[in-house]
Each structure stands twice: as C-alpha cells, then as structure tokens.
Amino acid sequence: MVSLRDDMQRDVLMRFFKTAPGEYGYGDDFIGLKVPQTREVVREVAKDLFLTEVPTLLKSRWHEVRLCGLLVLVAKFGRLTTKRLVDDPGTIRQRDEILRVYLDHAEQANNWDLVDLSAPKILGHWLLLPTCYGHQEPGLYQEDKIHLLDQLAQSDNLWRKRMSMVCTWKTTQQGDPSWCLRYAEMHLHHPHDLMHKAVGWMLREVGKRVDMQLLRDFLDKHAAEMPRTALRYAIEQMADDERRFWLEYR
C-alpha cells in the first residue's frame, strides 16, 4: 500500500478528514489512496490473512492501512453469515472472535469513515445473529447485546460512541428500528457535530426503510431539543413543506 503513495491525494485527504491541530482527525496520517484502491488490496489478502495478523494493520500509523484491516474483518465476518452457516456453533464462535478483535481495537477506527464502513457490517450484523459472546451456548441474548452497545455509547471515546449509533443502520435495514431509536435518544445531546450527523442519518433511515410515522413520532417528542444538524439530516427524505414544518417547530 505504501508503494502506491500519492502525495497530491494525500494532501486532499489530510484536509478532508480534518487532520490539522485542534480538528477531530489531528494526528492521523495518510498514504494517499482512494477507497477502491484499498478495497482491491482487501480482495487480494482477506481470504489468506489470519485473524491474528489483522491487529498489525489496525495499529498502523496509516489511515488507509487501518481501513484495510477493518475491511478485512468485514470480509471475514460476511463470509460467516450465509444461511448455511448462520446457526452453526463453530461459525458463531468465529464471528464472536472477529467482533472481539474489532472492539478491542475500536479506538483505531479513529475517523468517521473507518467507523461507517465497518460498524454496520460487523457490530450491526452481529446484533441480528446468534452469539456465544459471554456464554457457553449460542443464543440471541438481547439484554447482553444491549449492555454491550450501552458500554460503547457511554464510552468517553467519540469513535466508540459513533459505532453504537451507526451500527444501527444494519438493524434498521432489516426492519428493526428499536436499536436506532434507543441510541438516538441516548446521543441526542452529544456536543460533537459528527454525532449530530450520525443521529440524524440513522433516524432518516428509520423513516426511509421502516416507517415514516416512527420518525415523525420521534421528532414530535424531540425536535425542539435536537441539534439543528441532526434534525436537518433526519428530515432529508420528507417533502419540502414537511421539512419546513419541522425546522420551524424547532
């Protein structure tokens, strides 16, 4: 990946991902690869790379190498979710181990793109599947899953918090809006703009993919106190007159 270095693209990415002093991405460093280039590397290595080797990628100084590691985990997890394998006890334990690696290195997903490209397809998908996480036998263990996400949501780390919100994209896609609504309420007053965007985005998906009335009910309860950015993101799919109504309601 370093051999593909592009200094012009690197400069663009350093500005785009806010790496200047005082910005949320300060300290991050880039090689200068576009996401399709990183995905091509993942296609070449994901199948043959041992799970124990992935943390080396996740600890890299380079943003794109960390993304590569996260996408390797996504690929490995995805291959273990086919209908034939979903309830297999050995496969369940493999998925749980991938999740452990992901969570153990969550701080390495230290920008919004790293979270958004990984959390729904690992953590979010895991919420829908049988697990042995913390147990001897497989099961859905809904209360334990909520406890795990609550720990992320209550963390002092911005990226763990964003994981707890953005991972609900997957559960909402599968018709379960409860995860999104729970963590949207929990993060409603978070001070960071990146969380405002995440909350609004996930709420918009509830209206788009499940039921617009659920979104309206949430807004009826919370629109007056929502950060304006979160509200704007949440109502993007609504008609112009309804968007105006909610913005004035606030």
- Which tens digit of pLDDT belongs to each residue from 144-161? 999 999 999 999 999 999
| Contact in structure between 209 and 173 (CB atoms under 8 Å) | yes
Q: What is the pLDDT at residue 250?
A: 66
Q: Which percentage of the chain shows pLDDT scores above 70?
A: 100
Residues 6+ apart with CB under 8 A from 195: 158, 161, 162, 165, 187
Residue 70: which of 33, 19, 15, 116 has the closest Cα?
116
- Which tens digit of pLDDT belongs to each residue from 71-118? 999 999 999 999 999 999 999 999 999 999 999 999 999 999 999 999
Q: What is the pLDDT at residue 51?
A: 96
Within 10 A of 26 (CB to CB), how many other CB atoms are there? Answer: 10
| Contact in structure between 33 and 6 (CB atoms under 8 Å) | yes
Residue 249 in this model has a pLDDT that exceeds 80: no
- Using left for φ > 0, alpha for ψ between -120 and 50, and beta otherwise, residue 77 falls in alpha
| Contact in structure between 226 and 233 (CB atoms under 8 Å) | no
| Cross-strand partners of 139 | 131
Mean pLDDT computed over 128-142: 93
